[in-house]
Amino acid sequence: MTSPFSPSSSSPAPTASTHAPEVRPASDRVTYLQVDEASETQRVDNFLAKVLKGVPKSHIYRILRSGEVRVNKKRVDAEYRLQLGDEVRVPPIRTAEAAAKPAAPAIKARLAEQVIYEDDAMLALNKPAGMAVHGGSGISLGVIEQLRLERPQAKFLELVHRLDRETSGVLMIAKKRSALTALHEAMRHHQMDKRYLILVQGQWQDAKKKVTLDLQKYVTESGERRVQVVDAPLLNSEPGGIKSLKASGIVAQRHAAKGRFEVETQTSETWFYLQEMLGPCSFLQAKLITGRTHQLRVQLSYLGFPILGDDKYGDFALNKQLSKQGLKRMFLHSSETRIAHPLTGEPLHLVAPLPAELAQFLQQQRQLKSIK
């Protein structure tokens, strides 16, 4: 991936080569770095943490406080946000040497055909089910890492939001920091209309229904993070200690007794719209008002309408039967997103068609209903 900065050619001190795949400040002399669009609006302390790999943050803050770091020849504090063209003076500093990497294998393009919108500021993908948005927790390569490998020339690629690993559909990626900031601002002010298509167990009766529930995260005995609905929040005044416990459900109380929950609860809100009644199941559209972890999955399971194929909150016995009928994944798809373009303000309508395996299963349910 291209470095997030480029060295200034007009600096009085030597600079790193602009053609190097990764630029590192020198350990024996001052280095001057010029901020490009990839680092525009980034805080200077975060910029330095990215540049000075292996250097403790305490040392980064020390060289900021001492004035050894300068921006345009002036002292700045850690909160200063870099501007395009700023010249950053980095003092001589020893950084951790990266281990020699073996030659990388040829990159298989997995996402090129999934792009549904792209311009200079952003792109949107129809994320495949089964692919995490980023690496971690035993996953070496997520969408963002794969995308960076497929586009080594890209200066900036960052996730705008997340989707669960088993959820498919519209996923936005920013190609400029200014676009990322603008999209996050729009999301914070609920200026995004995000819709999902869902097939649930049970006969949903309401044509239109708003669901508001308080959610709280906890950790299972195996270390897996989960979310539950709570009537009142669990309170833990000190590590491992319980001051007050108010929760609904045996599972919540068991995990709370071990102190393995997060104190903060979050209100979740969703509008659900009935699309079709299909015998023992219902086809719904959901409009997110909030965007909490596992929001739709937990809300629907709590209401008694688990999502078909959901391996965390669903009906496991039913899922096993459905797998034999062809549904081998969760029926949850981010179908469309409406949002203003982050730089031009023009309205965007991002649409991800229903994946073939879901469309086929849905058609199968329609045929079964017509027979009955």
Residues in contact with 262: Cβ distance below 8 Å, sequence separation at least 6, in sequence order:
216, 217, 218
Contact between 129 and 330 (Cβ < 8 Å): yes
CB atoms within 10 A of CB 132: 22
Of 28, 164, 193, 311, the catalytic one is 164
CA torsion angle for 172, 175, 178, 182 (degrees, to 10)?
-10
Closest CA to 300 of 168, 187, 206, 162: 206
Contact between 179 and 344 (Cβ < 8 Å): no
Is 164 marked active-site?
Answer: yes
Contact between 300 and 286 (Cβ < 8 Å): no
Instruction: Give the residue numbers marked as catalytic.
Output: 164
